Amino acid sequence: MPDMIVTRWWWIRHAPVVDAQFGRLSGQADVDADLSDLESFTRLGPELPNDALWIVSTLKRTEQTAEALCQAAYLNIEAVREASFSEQAFGDWTNKTWDEVGIGEDAQAFWNDPAGARPPGAPSESFEDLYCRVAPRIDQLTFEHGGRDIVCIAHAGSIRAAIALALNLTPEQALGIDVKNTALTRLDFISTEPKVLGLGRWRVIGLNQFGDPQ
């Protein structure tokens, strides 16, 4: 029987943004993370592997979260910035709450097709657009770093896309998954053919692990 190659993805959603409000669409706004909940970092940090590739998005809240986790785990790493894993672009709705978005024509189109509709303004993406940039990059990095641990500090949207890839969900189904701040989602890719891109299967180890026990 050929040897199994297991590539372990450790997906973590960034800490809440400063002055977070339920339903606010931070999107690709480069806002700061609120790092005041030290317990969340001391709970999760020591669970992370010592010899891993670390990846953050191009938004600083992921980098700030990575630094806080490394401090809690006494790790000294330099994370790679990956634009493909940034949050969905919400156009004119960026930094607005759903109440501020309102119930106009654009909002109604979004609720009629939450995975496929794009908010007004630019830059703007649908969740399907986000999935189409996240999933191929996951496949590529899994191929390039087969057999390694990959710790990725990302966003709710990009983590939902990773789960959709692993479970073969539609983008609309993936939107029903709750991804909590500073919680761990573990996804393993198992392959016997390291030289063939995408050939293998995914295994879901856990969702929202080590998050707020409340």
- Is the pLDDT confidence value at 1 over 60? no
Q: What is the pLDDT of residues 144-201, one digit of tens each?
A: 999 999 999 999 999 999 999 999 999 999 999 999 999 999 999 999 776 677 689 9
Containing H/E element for 151?
A: strand 149-154
pLDDT, position 3: 78
Q: What is the pLDDT of residues 38-88, one digit of tens each?
A: 999 999 999 999 899 999 999 999 999 999 999 999 999 899 999 999 999
Coarse DSSP helix, strand, coil percentages of the chain, rounded to the nearest 5 percent: 35, 20, 45
CATH superfamily of 5-209: Phosphoglycerate mutase-like (3.40.50.1240)
Please check whether residue 181 is in contact with residue 64, taking contact to mean a CB–CB distance below 8 angstroms.
Answer: no
Q: How far is it, in rounded angstroms, from Cα 28 to Cα 203?
A: 30
Q: How far is it, in rounded angstroms, from Cα 67 to Cα 6?
A: 26
Per domain, the residue ranges of the chain are 5-209
Containing H/E element for 149?
A: strand 149-154
Q: How far is it, in rounded angstroms, from Cα 108 to Cα 73?
A: 45
